[in-house]
Amino acid sequence: MSSNSLDFEAPIQVILERIELLKLRPRTPERHEELQQLRLQVDSLREEIYSKLSPWQQVLVARHPNRPHTLDYVDQIFSEFTEFHGDRRFGDDPAIVCGLAYLHKDPVVIVGHQKGRGTRENIRRNFGYAKPEGYRKALRAMRLAEKFQRPVVAFVDTPAAYPGLESEERGVAEAIATNLREMSMLRVPILVVISGEGGSGGALGLALGDRIMIQEHSIFSVIPPEGCAAILWRDPEKKISAAEALKITAPDLVKLQVVDEVIPEPLGGAHVDPKAAAKFVKVALVRNLETVSQISIDELVTARYQKYRRMGDVGLTTRTTDSTELSKAGSEEVDGSRGQGKSPDR
């Protein structure tokens, strides 16, 4: 089995290995027919498996090492990318990339988390865990976007902000909070694509915008499932239960009105066909950029503010109703008890 194959993909991997062996043999009509049949089996299995992924399996897909990252999407979707470096205060953070580019003929500013491929690259990118200078670099890029009236396109893919000592010393919480404040008032359109693992405040530091899009097999959460399990159950092995309770998958997030749109992925996930995944993302970006560009900037900023104010109301009406009904039921029970000459339980 491939080292990058997920456990639940084992039946697919067996057939893929069979296909690779057949490719090494001389081509014959019979062998060609067999290859076609095996490829159809792979598609059928992928459709079956990926149509009923559990929340924890979605987490694993979002973390897949072959999943495209920000620079992969930049190469496939944008043109004339010019990267920025440094926050003008401390240094450069390779875990966040920023730069100028064109989406079709529209000039945009790109900010995004960047994980690495392989051990050496992952160490250089700090496995996508951004430090304060990364968020300040992103804010510098977004302020330039505002100055020159360029929309911002943000790609979110991080487990969390880096929690190390040096990160705390340089004010990571303040850096994220400043980004949230400034992005809420930024006078240019902001499009956000959650392209992998949107974890904790590290994700939120780039994820405040006018249109929040999430790829089909990405996740977005206030805390990683392992951290949630360690806090609530004192047992990291409860991560599967935590993933389900957190409601971190794309359909759940749409239902909760945390994200606006789900971007489809190729069958089997973006890691199977990164070019096809990039095409889906490009279509969504172009369409949403055209929509928000037709709205006046004053209306856009007001709508952005109201969008995040409403998020805290999700489920509030239901909970209030339930509480009222419970209170009413309790009162009736007490009254009934009194009518029968009984004292209510205390």
Is position 208 within any domain? yes
* Same domain flag for 143 and 30: no
pLDDT per residue as tens digits for the range 264-295? 999 999 999 999 999 999 999 999 999 999 99
* Same domain flag for 144 and 175: yes
The rounded distance, in Å, linking the Cα atoms of 121 and 117 is: 6
The secondary structure element, H or E, covering residue 8 is none
pLDDT per residue as tens digits for the range 126-185? 999 999 999 999 999 999 999 999 999 999 999 999 999 999 999 999 999 999 999 999
pLDDT at 1 over 60: no
Provide the pLDDT confidence category of residue 33 given band limits of 50, 70 and 90: confident
Q: Which tokens hold the place of 346?
A: 């205390």
Q: CA torsion 90→91→92→98, rounded to 10°?
A: 50
Residue in this structure with the two tokens 């092995």, named with its chain if needed: 237
DSSP letters for 194-213: EEEEEEHHHHHTT--SSEEE
Q: What is the mean pLDDT of residues 202-212?
A: 94
Distances (CA, A) of 107 to 57, 62, 145: 37, 29, 10
pLDDT at 334 over 60: no
pLDDT value, residue 185: 95
Is position 33 within any domain? yes
pLDDT per residue as tens digits for the range 225-235? 998 999 999 88
pLDDT at 343 over 70: no
Is position 185 within any domain? yes
Which amino acid would we find at residue 272?
V
* Same domain flag for 39 and 180: no
Its pTM stands at 0.84
pLDDT value, residue 273: 93
Is position 183 within any domain? yes
Q: What is the mean pLDDT of residues 44-73?
A: 92
Residue 316, SS3 per DSSP: helix
Q: Average pLDDT, whole number, for the chain?
A: 87
Provide the pLDDT confidence category of residue 13 given band limits of 50, 70 and 90: confident
DSSP letters for 265-290: --TT-TTT-HHHHHHHHHHHHHHHHH
Is position 250 within any domain? yes
* Same domain flag for 279 and 243: yes
* Same domain flag for 197 and 93: yes
Range of the domain at 110: 60-311
> In this structure, how many other beta carbons lie within 10 angstroms of the beta carbon of residue 272?
19
The rounded distance, in Å, linking the Cα atoms of 137 and 98 is: 8
Are residues 202 and 158 in contact, defined by beta-carbon separation less than 8 angstroms?
yes
Structural domain count of the chain: 2
279-288 as b/e: b if 16+ CB within 10 A: ebbbebbeeb
Name the residue among 155, 149, 104, 153 with its Cα closest to residue 130: 155
pLDDT value, residue 316: 54
| 13 alpha carbon, distance to own chain's centre | 26
